[in-house]
Amino acid sequence: MSRAAVIGAGSWGTALAKLLGEKGHRVRVWSYEASVAEQLRERRVNEVYLPGIEVPAEIEVSTELADTLEGAELVIAVVPSHAFREVMKAAASYVPQGAIVLSATKGIEVDTLKRPSQILAELLPDNPSPAVLSGPTFAREVAEGDPTAIAVASRDPDVARHAQHFVNTDRFRVYTNEDVLGVELAGALKNVIALAAGIADGLRYRSNSRAALITRGLAEMTRLGLAMGARASTFAGLAGLGDLVLTCSSDLSRNRTVGVRLGRGEMLEEILASMRMVAEGVRTTKAARQLARTHKVEMPIVEEVHHILFEGKSPKRATADLMLRSPKPELWGGTDAT
Ligand X SMILES: NC(=O)c1ccc[n+]([C@@H]2O[C@H](COP(=O)([O-])OP(=O)(O)OC[C@H]3O[C@@H](n4cnc5c(N)ncnc54)[C@H](O)[C@@H]3O)[C@@H](O)[C@H]2O)c1
Give the binding range for ligand X (CB under 6 A) out of 62-70, 167-175, 274-282, 283-291: 274-282
Question: How far apart are CB 313 and ligand X at their closest, in Å?
Answer: 25
Q: What binding mask, one character per residue, do residues 133-162 give for ligand X by CB under 6 A, x or -?
A: ----xxx-----------------------
Tell how far CA 244 is from the center of its chain. 11
Q: Which stretch binds ligand X (CB under 6 A): 9-17, 166-174, 214-222, 290-298?
A: 9-17
Among 21, 28, 40, 49, binds ligand X (CB under 6 A): 49
- In the bound state, the residue with its beta carbon closest to ligand X is 10
Beta-bridge mates of residue 176: 152
190 catalytic residue (yes or no): yes
Q: Is 119 helix (H, G, I), strand (E, B) or coil?
A: helix
CB count, 10 Å around CB of 33? Answer: 14
Q: Between 116-123 and 81-92, two packed helices, what is the crossing angle to 10 degrees?
A: 20
Q: Which is nearer to ligand X, 137 or 154 (CB)?
A: 137
Residue 338, interface with ligand X (CB under 6 A)? Answer: no
Q: How far is the CB of 58 from ligand X (least distance, A)?
A: 21
Q: Does 223 bind ligand X (CB under 6 A)?
A: no
Give me the catalytic one of 190, 296, 313, 328. 190
CA atoms of 64 and 273, how far apart (whole Å): 28
Between CA 2 and CA 166 the distance in angstroms is: 8
> Binding segment for ligand X among 104-112, 201-209, 218-226, 229-237 (CB under 6 A)?
104-112
User: In Å, how far from its chain's centre is CA 56?
Assistant: 25
Calpha distance 132→88 (Å, rounded) = 15
Task: Decide: 107 and 84 in contact? Cβ < 8 Å.
Answer: yes
Query: What stretch of H or E contains 262?
Result: helix 254-263
- CB closer to ligand X out of 105 and 319: 105
- Hey, which residues are catalytic here? 190
- Positions touching ligand X (CB under 6 A) are 8-13, 32-33, 49, 78-81, 83, 87, 104-107, 137-139, 277-278, 280
